[in-house]
Amino acid sequence: MTTESAFKTAQAQLRIAVDQLGLSENDWQTLSTPRRVLEVAIPLRRDNDKVEMYKGYRVQYSTTRGPSKGGVRFHPDIDLEETVALAMLMTWKCALTNLPFGGAKGGIAIDVASLSDRENERLTRRYTSEILPIIGPERDIPAPDVGTDERNMAWMMDTYSVNAGYSVPGVVTGKPIVLGGSLGRNSATGDGVAISTREALRARGINPVGATVAIQGFGKVGYWAAIALEGMGLKVVAVSDVNGAVTGFKSVSDLWNHFLKHKNLDAPGTDRLTNEELLHLEVDVLIPAALSDAITGKSAPGIKAKIVVEGANAPTTPEGDAIMNDKGILVVPDILANSGGVIVSYFEWVQDKQNYFWDVEEVKTNLNSIMMKALYEVEATAKDRKVTWREAAHMLGVSRVAEAHKLRGLYP
């Protein structure tokens, strides 16, 4: 998705929710404007001693319901408009799941593959020092995103803590376990996608046991979703990576073990498909868990799945969404389906504040509870208001932020 279309789509979705909720133009003005936008210049000394300059961003879209929360993305195409759009969506996602957070997003416009480990650390630490005045456990809590991982979070936490003069594990989430990370965080987004899939099948009157699933993407989200779905009794019949899709594998675990050993999905007995062919398989559930704009006006007409669960962020264009709605396909939107990651990030933040850590069963039980509540609320709102699940999810998230705005009032 282009940054312009990402921003326009996010604004259009907000406009629809504002109109459906009957909110005022004053509400639109406050809801459509980010609270704080920071753009920084980041000098990076390469290993060959050459100094290069990169742009970095941190957008705090809303702090009305609590400190802002959102990932840090290292990607060459990121810019300010995309960062604002993603921070906006994080705002509605946190409100939809009733987390005490606003939304944020940040990142650096760089190809992470071009960085050595030492360069990555220097870049991460300098970025942290540039945004340090506006982040903190009670202000804004970064997390991993595209191009970053728990190692980057460890560097960010250390940089912040050294400047504070004491250890502050709660400044970021998605950290290594030994630095205050949470059990269950790695699988959280995929676990949430699996819960969403199970409940969407229930809503459509389909028995999850034996239901068929195709997953576009076999990374952190797609893999963990596939593992969880198999554990629920569903049949994962196809998965894909950047090189294409495969079907005919014995189990997700067998395929993953082959992938770890050979760095490809061509396990014995598998058949190759294109990513487009995967989208058009006759399955009960399709899960786009890799790229934005996977389902477009061009690809949507061929989708045969009864349910689409958006594991990725913004995998569906407005044109693709309209076509699926016309076809009667139930779409579980990204701000609901992939909210497991931020929910368990919230659990990590809580555990860091308490200095008391949960076992993985407690994490998964609480994740299921929050996801189930949000799913039932979206389903009920969609039925009551006669809208799509996407519209219902945005209405719930936006209405909660708008209510918090009204209760807090306008200062001065």
Q: What is the Cα–Cα distance from 284 to 329, expressed in whole angstroms?
A: 10
Q: What is the Cα–Cα distance from 143 to 349, expressed in whole angstroms?
A: 11
Nearest partner of 34 among 82, 1, 73, judged by Cα: 82
105 is catalytic: yes
Which of the residues 69, 93, 105, 175 is marked catalytic?
A: 105
Q: What is the Cα–Cα distance from 262 to 75, expressed in whole angstroms?
A: 26
Residues 6+ apart with CB under 8 A from 408: 64
Residues 6+ apart with CB under 8 A from 239: 214, 215, 216, 217, 218, 222, 226, 245, 246, 249, 252, 255, 265
Q: What is the Cα–Cα distance from 226 to 376, expressed in whole angstroms?
A: 23
Nearest partner of 255 among 273, 236, 277, judged by Cα: 236
Reading the block at residue 163, the tokens are 């400047």
Reading the block at residue 403, the tokens are 């209510």
Reading the block at residue 278, the tokens are 């995967």
Positions marked catalytic? 105
